[in-house]
Amino acid sequence: PLEYFIPAATMSYTDIYKLRGLEEPADYGSGVEYILGLAEAFPESGLQIGLWLNGTSGCQDIMQGQLDDKIRQLFDFVNHKLPPSLPKVFLRVGYEFDNPWFGYSDS
């Protein structure tokens, strides 16, 4: 039964531009992402958040300060909205940067 199942960690994704899936379910096309829902369902498990940066253009926007409000909003969510019982939150920034589909380049 699920009531006896406690995973070591759960995983969900969001993007730096819209931060969808933090407090309400969102579907990016690969299934529903709902970070708060996972944290509430498994409050004693670690949580990994995959943060998509929208490739090189997102990285440039971050360096230019255009996404500072979104970064603050994400950290406010992690610090104040997630259950305090979570043992760890891992932020996977720019995940799969080596995947050509994700739009990162070395320029």
pLDDT tens digits for range 30-66: 899 999 999 999 999 999 999 999 888 899 999 999 9
Q: pLDDT at position 28, please?
A: 86
Per-residue pLDDT for 77 more than 80?
yes
pLDDT-derived band at 102 (thresholds 50, 70, 90) equals: confident
Nearest to 74 by CA among 28, 19, 24: 19
Q: How far apart are the first and last CA of the chain?
A: 50
Q: What is the mean pLDDT of residues 61-87?
A: 96
